[in-house]
Amino acid sequence: MTAPVPSSSSALDRTPPTDGRVRVVQMLPDLETGGGQQIALQIARNVDPRRFDSRVVYLEPVETMLPAFRAAGLPTVGMGHEPGRGLRTVRRLARYLRDERIDLVHVHGQLDRRYGEVAAFLTRTPVVSHAHSMWVYLGVHVEPGTGPLARARAEVMGRLRDLLEHRTVRHYVADSDEAGRRYAAVARAPVTTYRQGVDLARFPPPGDAGASARTAAVRDGLGLDPSVPVLVNVSRLVPEKGQADLVEALVSVRRSCPDAVLVLVGDGPERPRLEARAAELGVAGSVVFTGNRHDVPDLLAAGDVFVFSSESESFGLAVLEAMAAGRPVVSYRLPSLEEFVMEGATGVLVDHGDTASLAAATGELLADPSRASAMGEAGRRVVEERFDARVVHEELGRTYEQVLAGVGRGRR
């Protein structure tokens, strides 16, 4: 079988369900490696397959994470969106929703929200909108100094967008309490905080029988001696993720721990600048760029401390995964992280931009392995008790069913 919309390499075989399950589409702007894509993958992989038939639709033909979605056995369809061809994209999306008799669309990003909500309106398909950031897009947003014509256009477009949103979105899910509060102030549909979950089966606990062998293999693959202290960061290499601060902090860490190495997992447009900065500071040989990887659990387990320097996060899934891997966290203080990083117990949070404190906290943990180990074990317990994916996604499933109960199935 082929996808209803041609795409270079993005379609998987699909068998339309005949068993009464709810047909849910996780809609994404693309399959580039990113937080929203990782969260959509977790949802599609973990919501109860006895109740939900999950599919993934993405707009632009960027497919870095396509292997991960395929490995999860998820039907994945690309729409081949091109700039300036939005009407064609809407037609393709609407046809897909109708032909596949989709019951619910879950949107995650700006581009998929824009086109997905139009297609959902045309097919009378209810939408769940995911708040992955602290920026609330509802309302009219005009930059200072904007001219009168541009201001008028922004106001018209903003009001039209909000009107469409109010007609299609039946529920918002937010990654943190703070994001939820911001949306609740302007949204007309209910807003539920939906904290992300971790599939603990992918993250063996500290002391697991095979952990040592996997750690040795990962370090060997990265060209690292088994005994060197390793700092790990997992994130896209973009300015707002702040890896330049981590490179600078490494210089300070190496004054007390000369063998320390920073492993940056991920890729992005900031990589050349980060490589140049590492060379400028004399630590080029101590910063390892892995690019995008699909063995993140093993990479986290191979580190000693997880370091994080993002400007803002609606949740911070990478940090939670580090805790699941039993690693202590040193990060800039963000409201979303304060909801699960317990200061002094599972990690250390410092003021944003304070690279000296970031380096000092990291160096102290490297110098005190027993304290670092205790923090890692405590972090693992937090994940087990509050963020087990099975429990979290059960809650999301109930939200889906509440939405559908309000609109009725079998509309088309």
Please state the pTM of the whole predicted model.
0.72
- Asked if 249 and 358 count as a contact pair (C-beta separation under 8 A), the reply is yes
pLDDT in tens, 28-49: 999 998 888 988 998 998 889 9
Lowest mean pLDDT, pick from 10-24, 173-187, 327-341: 10-24
* CATH code, residues 22-197+389-407: 3.40.50.2000
- Asked if 145 and 123 count as a contact pair (C-beta separation under 8 A), the reply is no
Q: Is 104 exposed, middle or buried, given 0-12, 13-18 or 19+ CB atoms closer than 10 A? A: buried
CA–CA separation, 262 vs 268, rounded Å?
A: 17
pLDDT in tens, 290-316: 999 888 999 999 999 999 999 988 778
* Share in percent of the chain as helix, strand, coil (round to 5): 45, 15, 40
Architecture of domain 200-386: 3-Layer(aba) Sandwich (3.40)
Lowest mean pLDDT, pick from 59-63, 192-196, 209-213, 360-364: 209-213
- Asked if 113 and 107 count as a contact pair (C-beta separation under 8 A), the reply is yes
Structure confidence at residue 283 (pLDDT): 96
What is the DSSP code (8-state) at residue 388? B
CA–CA separation, 74 vs 77, rounded Å?
A: 10
Structure confidence at residue 125 (pLDDT): 96
pLDDT in tens, 171-193: 999 887 887 888 878 888 899 88
- Report domain extents, the chain: 22-197+389-407, 200-386
- Equal CATH topology for 22-197+389-407 and 200-386: yes
* Contacts of 279 by beta carbon, 8 Å cutoff, 6+ apart: none
In angstroms and rounded to an integer, the radius of gyration of the C-alpha atoms of the chain is 22
